[in-house]
């Protein structure tokens, strides 16, 4: 069923819900899902509606025009999207296949509602798997002494493919600040620890050294500060003294791919609102 | 903060949210929490609002009068409650103390918003613990040959104490059908299995015999059919071949008390709507 | 590191561990992992050792001869296996790809230590995915009016490929009793419910109808009685009133593939001992 | 059933298990539980046996004498304990009651096998609850300008009561280094975060600020470095954007008390071996 997704953040106050609901009711909008959140700490209000597209007399532009006065009245930061216009997601990977294979399978079996115009990797390893899915594979090697040309090429590809989302599916390279800024809240990373524990390299080694009893993974938007962006989703799995680093890596892979796919789904369905480096996730 | 809780179930349709939101906005109601659910399978709509009481010009009766036309228009099954009017919860227990001790501690430390006018038990064991909390303890023994007099006494006590909720905190006796009907959706039980597995007696023995790898507990409203009422909350814990029935009982206790306290909290905060022997829980 | 896996079940008694440990020490066996379990309910003892193959002066046959007197003395049911002799696992599937894709990816990335000589399916849908992995795909349609020829063909294929394990990766057909008996404790199924709840067809529909708050999956050995064989592994995931049957199916897929892959790993590493329709799993 | 618990750590090598098993078998020791662990990273071996006391011809001293040559041969760090000689556990608390109430209830209902000779607190709040359990309550206020006298008094009480374990059940004071050293691996703390995240004060505030999707608790031995001692047990609970700091505190309480009680149980049953600031927990 095709829906419009109306996502709103604004300073809290009386009458917002009524105004928005009224607007929708006036045009006979059939709401299939509605979520609200009042954040008492910062005084902001967040709202998401999913409305049957065929119940409304608008297309997206028509909706935008009609809704603009309300948005202005309440100083809303808002967006409306159409479930029929699929997001275009560029996947980036390195050598590890588990996250990429998981996303590709979900996409192929219709479980992940998006287009994947291409996959970019700094290695050749995963080409055959990607091409079997009928998706172009771009090998963009990263020269450790001079990384900028590679990131320029990545940036060019993302633009050429008109992508609106980039997923770092264990890409293992740190994006330069200009890319982070340019694609703000559009680049999703999976970090293989339960952040803020074990920022940076080799988190399973760090976890083993500290002797933690659970390891985890974190899906977050990428910002300039390493592993410090807004967290979308996290999960953990139990480990014991018996689990070597190798076993942790294996157990961690399952958490990583689950957490990444859940986080990406929230993003694709416009369920995530970023505010103050934190997320509201209307799951 | 004192709130009114407006809980609604009605056949789904366009304009319900707008009508209700408008009503609230007209009277300047400050919504602190709002939850909706459209059930596509049965065509019903469920809704819960929490509204700051001091933002409204009504008391409960005033609200009821003002809202009645809307409720009628949409054939709503609805209720409004005041967070300042605490529910009166009678706890019933047998010999096992873990659920009762847990609820009493939560109540005493202000974590569980209700009054506990009395505790009823078919044994004397837990009297001292209950009386230390300053709560009357009624010992109502159940004669296995003739249980009715005991249940008549229970019924009389529940009425005398003007209780609106009864919690079977491991009471271990099956309530007679007339009591189940009389206090429909007011009696909450904790069953020590992950229902519908292991209905009836000795679920941990059944679980051990079947060799399951997780055991659980279920908090549900009591109905005439044993362990078949609407489920409010469930959880599980991992077990292995090493866990004897005794260990399962110990591990299970922690799940039971957690699940019961979560389920009861949902009930006390008017977060549960029963429909078709299932629950909508606006957690 | 190549290891021998010594797996023992016998009536409990004093001196078993000493005898076995002594035997291993006499031959300078380097134990890398050891697990014991005394079942107080039935008086049986279970034991698993993993021993570095290069530390022992035997091959498997030599070990068997040398160990036979001890096995006899304690009436042991026992087996010894060589980690270098990989199990041969036939995968069977129907139309759903999630479990099959998951197992194939784990196998391809070296995470699942086995050979997969072929995949058998009653449909053509998954051929291309399987063949991309370089694995033969056999389409064996099942005639609903006369299923025996199909199962005869399955049986012939399993034998021809010298398989020692069959995995029903959402095969959706009930194996006939003779096959269950013939491959006793060799056929692993994934059932899409938390058994013993929701045996048989359409468990997610059953779960939705009952209104449970967790759904699950069960990996078990197949026996003549439907969904009643020894349970190897189980897990659950939380659902709410918002989750339609379709959403349950999607959430359940992730649990199914995780549970199946964990269960199969235990089996492949000789960590499972079946006794009295239950399992000891030395995870 | 009374058991002896033999706990061993030593450099790994061939023949250790055989020697120990032989020793036990020679004296007809009935092993009820046995656990081994070879740590490949540091080359150490860890082992725990539980043996029926009535099956052995020794008391603890007799055992120690007989076993000493083996311990010497393998350079073992080892201990033997008698399940009948209960540990003496001093509980320390501040104002929050949840952990203390939980431990007292478990102790009172026979679920936690230890003696609790006294409770020490820097406040009077919990006196009545403790004294109802028949346990002496010592109020030792801590002067923020001069804490040493209070800790001297704590130290004196621990010694006077011949305690062998101290549990900081949300004591909220940092023990001075000399106490940490003196009672090394005897003082158990519950920290209200998933360490190493959110060390120090107000971890739930830190968690809310960072926007994590899970909060947790950590049970660990206290060392001189704050919140950096060997971790015994951890767990987490899911939170969302809806959960205020107050809600996190409430949800966290349940995790804290569960994690602390599990960690303490492991300690009391001699299941924990500390090595290199990490723990082996033979759960």
* Residue A269 confidence class, pLDDT cut points 50, 70, 90: very high
Q: How far lies C229's CA from each of C170, C187, C188, in Å?
A: 16, 10, 9
Of C227, C254, C270, C276, the active-site residue reads C227
Please tell me the distance in Å from B90's CA to the nearest CA on chain C.
26
- Which residue has tokens 């000795």? B202
- Spatial contact of B93 and B173, defined as CB atoms under 8 Å apart: no
Rg (CA), chain A: 20
Task: For residue C28, report the phi and psi dihedrals to the nearest 5 degrees.
Answer: 65, 25
In this predicted structure, the answer to whether residue C107 has a pLDDT above a threshold of 90 is yes
Closest chain D CA to residue A263: D213
Note the pLDDT of residue D15.
Answer: 85
Note the pLDDT of residue B18.
Answer: 86
Task: For residue range A176-191, list pLDDT tens digits in order.
Answer: 999 999 999 999 999 9
> For residue D135, what is the DSSP state?
-
CB contact under 8 A, A38 and B33: yes
Task: For residue range C261-271, list pLDDT tens digits in order.
Answer: 999 999 999 99
A118/A112 Cα distance (integer angstroms) = 15
Of D227, D235, D270, D276, the active-site residue reads D227
In this predicted structure, the answer to whether residue A15 has a pLDDT above a threshold of 90 is no
Ramachandran region, residue C134 (left: φ > 0; alpha: ψ -120 to 50; beta: rest): left
Q: Which two tokens stand for residue D183?
A: 């009672």
In this predicted structure, the answer to whether residue D40 has a pLDDT above a threshold of 90 is no
* Residue C18 confidence class, pLDDT cut points 50, 70, 90: confident
Q: How far apart are the first and last CA of chain C?
A: 18
Query: How, if at all, do strands A87-93 and A165-168 pair?
Result: parallel
Contacts of A190 in chain D (CB under 8 A): none
CB contact under 8 A, B210 and C196: yes
In this predicted structure, the answer to whether residue B180 has a pLDDT above a threshold of 90 is yes
Note the pLDDT of residue C123.
Answer: 98
Q: Which two tokens stand for residue D151?
A: 């800790």
Please tell me the distance in Å from D26's CA to the nearest CA on chain C.
8
In this predicted structure, the answer to whether residue D78 has a pLDDT above a threshold of 90 is yes
User: Nearest-CA neighbor of C177 among C168, C167, C169, C187?
Assistant: C187
Contacts of A32 in chain B (CB under 8 A): 38
Ramachandran region, residue B141 (left: φ > 0; alpha: ψ -120 to 50; beta: rest): beta
- Spatial contact of C185 and C178, defined as CB atoms under 8 Å apart: no
User: For residue C171, with 0-12 CB atoms within 10 Å meaning exposed, 13-18 middle and 19 or more buried, which class applies?
Assistant: buried
Reduced to 3 states, what is the DSSP secondary structure of residue A203?
helix
B247/D40 Cα distance (integer angstroms) = 32
Write down how long chain C is: 283
To test the contact with chain D by mutation, choose from B101, B108, B130 the residue with the greatest count of D C-beta atoms within 10 A, namely B101
> For residue B245, what is the DSSP state?
H
Contacts of D39 in chain A (CB under 8 A): 241
Query: How, if at all, do strands B137-139 and B119-121 pair?
Result: parallel
Note the pLDDT of residue D209.
Answer: 95
Note the pLDDT of residue C14.
Answer: 84
Q: Which two tokens stand for residue C138?
A: 């056999």
Note the pLDDT of residue B198.
Answer: 96
CB contact under 8 A, C28 and D34: no
Q: How far lies A148's CA from each of A177, A200, A227, A249, in Å?
A: 11, 20, 20, 30
CB contact under 8 A, A101 and C105: yes
Of A102, A227, A243, A270, the active-site residue reads A227
Q: Which residues of A make CB contacts under 8 Å with D? A: 37, 39-41, 46, 194-198, 208, 210-214, 216, 230-236, 240-242, 244-245, 277-281, 283
Contacts of A196 in chain D (CB under 8 A): 197-198, 210, 212
What mean pLDDT do residues B230-253 have?
Answer: 97
Of B102, B227, B243, B270, the active-site residue reads B227
Report the largest interatomic distance among the alpha carbons of chain D, rounded to a whole angstrom.
Answer: 62
In this predicted structure, the answer to whether residue B32 has a pLDDT above a threshold of 90 is no
Reduced to 3 states, what is the DSSP secondary structure of residue C223?
coil
Percentage of chain C beyond pLDDT 90 is: 94
CB contact under 8 A, A109 and C132: no
> For residue D224, what is the DSSP state?
S
- Spatial contact of B114 and B105, defined as CB atoms under 8 Å apart: no
Name the residue facing A109 among C97, C111, C254 (closest C-beta).
C97
CB contact under 8 A, C105 and A111: no
Name the residue facing D111 among B109, B250, B258 (closest C-beta).
B250
Report the largest interatomic distance among the alpha carbons of chain C, rounded to a whole angstrom.
Answer: 62
Closest chain C CA to residue A132: C132
Contact partners, residue D35, CB within 8 Å, separation at least 6 = C36, D47, D48, D282
Alpha helices in C13-90 (DSSP H): 16-26, 60-73
- B63-75 per-residue burial string, b: 16 or more CB within 10 A, e: under 16: beeebeebbeebe
Contacts of C101 in chain A (CB under 8 A): 101, 105
CB contact under 8 A, A25 and B15: yes
Note the pLDDT of residue B15.
Answer: 85
Closest chain B CA to residue C228: B210
User: Nearest-CA neighbor of C276 among C234, C223, C204?
Assistant: C223
CB contact under 8 A, B211 and C230: yes
D283/D270 Cα distance (integer angstroms) = 10
Name the residue facing B31 among A17, A31, A34 (closest C-beta).
A17
Task: For residue range C240-257, list pLDDT tens digits in order.
Answer: 999 999 999 999 999 999
Contacts of C266 in chain B (CB under 8 A): none
Contacts of B211 in chain C (CB under 8 A): 230-231, 277-279
Q: How far apart are the first and last CA of chain B?
A: 18
What mean pLDDT do residues D88-112 have?
Answer: 97
- Spatial contact of D87 and D114, defined as CB atoms under 8 Å apart: yes
Give me the DSSP letters along B205-225: HHHHHHT-SEEEEEEEE--SS
Q: State the chains in contact with C (3 or more Cβ–Cβ pairs under 8 Å).
A: A, B, D
Q: Which residues of B make CB contacts under 8 Å with A? A: 14-15, 17-22, 24-26, 28-36, 38, 55
**Whether the bond into B196 is cis, omega within 30 of 0:** yes
Q: How far lies A235's CA from each of A100, B223, C19, C149, D192, in Å?
A: 18, 37, 44, 47, 18
Note the pLDDT of residue D18.
Answer: 86
Closest chain C CA to residue A100: C105
User: Nearest-CA neighbor of B164 among B259, B79, B53?
Assistant: B79
In this predicted structure, the answer to whether residue A209 has a pLDDT above a threshold of 90 is yes
What mean pLDDT do residues A199-220 have?
Answer: 96
C201/C199 Cα distance (integer angstroms) = 7
User: Nearest-CA neighbor of B272 among B185, B192, B196?
Assistant: B185
Ramachandran region, residue D162 (left: φ > 0; alpha: ψ -120 to 50; beta: rest): left
- Spatial contact of C50 and C4, defined as CB atoms under 8 Å apart: yes
Q: ipTM value of the model?
A: 0.95
**Whether the bond into C196 is cis, omega within 30 of 0:** yes
Known catalytic residue at C227: yes
**Whether the bond into D196 is cis, omega within 30 of 0:** yes
> All domains of chain D, ordered by start, with CATH?
3-82 (3.30.70.260), 87-281 (3.40.50.170)
Contacts of B18 in chain A (CB under 8 A): 18, 21-22, 24-26
**Whether the bond into C201 is cis, omega within 30 of 0:** no
- Which residue has tokens 């409430």? D250
Closest chain A CA to residue D273: A241
Reduced to 3 states, what is the DSSP secondary structure of residue B233?
strand
Task: For residue range D135-152, list pLDDT tens digits in order.
Answer: 999 999 999 999 999 999
* Residue B40 confidence class, pLDDT cut points 50, 70, 90: confident
Q: How far lies A282's CA from each of A233, A267, B233, in Å?
A: 12, 10, 21
Q: Who has greater pLDDT, D30 or C135?
A: C135
What mean pLDDT do residues D36-58 have?
Answer: 94
Contact partners, residue D283, CB within 8 Å, separation at least 6 = A240, D266, D271
B233/B258 Cα distance (integer angstroms) = 10
Count CB neighbours of D243 within 10 A: 19
Task: For residue A117, report the phi and psi dihedrals to the nearest 5 degrees.
Answer: -70, -30
Q: How far lies A258's CA from each of C243, C263, D216, D238, in Å?
A: 18, 18, 20, 15
Task: For residue range C230-241, list pLDDT tens digits in order.
Answer: 999 999 999 999
CB contact under 8 A, D24 and C33: no
* Residue B249 confidence class, pLDDT cut points 50, 70, 90: very high
Q: How far lies B123's CA from each of A149, B93, B129, B142, D110, in Å?
A: 79, 8, 13, 9, 19
| Structural element, H or E, at residue A262 | helix A245-268
Task: For residue range C35-49, list pLDDT tens digits in order.
Answer: 999 998 899 999 999
Name the residue facing A111 among C105, C111, C250 (closest C-beta).
C250
Q: Which two tokens stand for residue B33?
A: 């929490």
User: Nearest-CA neighbor of D103 among D187, D194, D185, D190?
Assistant: D190
- Residue B101's DSSP bridge partners are none
């Amino acid at each position: 069923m095709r829906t419009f997704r109306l996502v709103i953040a604004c300073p809290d106050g009386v009458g917002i819900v009524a105004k928005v609901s009224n607007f929708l009711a006036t045009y006979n909008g059939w709401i299939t899902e509605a979520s609200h959140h009042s954040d008492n700490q910062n005084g902001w209000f967040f709202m998401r509606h999913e409305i049957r597209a065929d119940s409304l007399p608008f297309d997206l532009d028509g909706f935008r025009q009609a809704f603009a006065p309300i948005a202005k009245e309440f100083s809303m930061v808002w967006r409306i999207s159409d479930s029929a216009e699929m997001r275009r997601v560029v996947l980036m990977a390195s050598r590890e296949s588990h996250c990429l294979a998981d996303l590709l399978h979900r996409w192929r079996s219709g479980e992940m509602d998006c287009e994947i115009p291409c996959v970019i990797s700094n290695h050749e390893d995963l080409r055959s798997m990607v091409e079997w899915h009928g998706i172009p594979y771009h090998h963009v090697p990263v020269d450790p002494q001079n990384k900028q040309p590679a990131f320029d090429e990545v940036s060019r590809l993302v633009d050429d493919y008109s992508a609106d989302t980039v997923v770092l599916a264990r890409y293992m390279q740190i994006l330069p600040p200009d890319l982070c800024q340019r694609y703000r809240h559009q680049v999703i990373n999976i970090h293989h620890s339960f952040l803020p524990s074990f920022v940076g390299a080799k988190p399973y080694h760090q976890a083993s050294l500290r002797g933690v009893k659970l390891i985890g993974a974190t899906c977050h938007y990428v910002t300039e500060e390493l592993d410090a962006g807004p967290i979308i989703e996290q999960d953990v799995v139990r480990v014991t003294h018996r689990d070597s680093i190798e076993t942790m890596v294996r157990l961690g892979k399952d958490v990583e791919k689950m957490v990444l796919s859940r986080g990406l789904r929230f993003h694709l369905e416009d369920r995530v609102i970023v505010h103050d480096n934190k997320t509201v996730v209307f799951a």
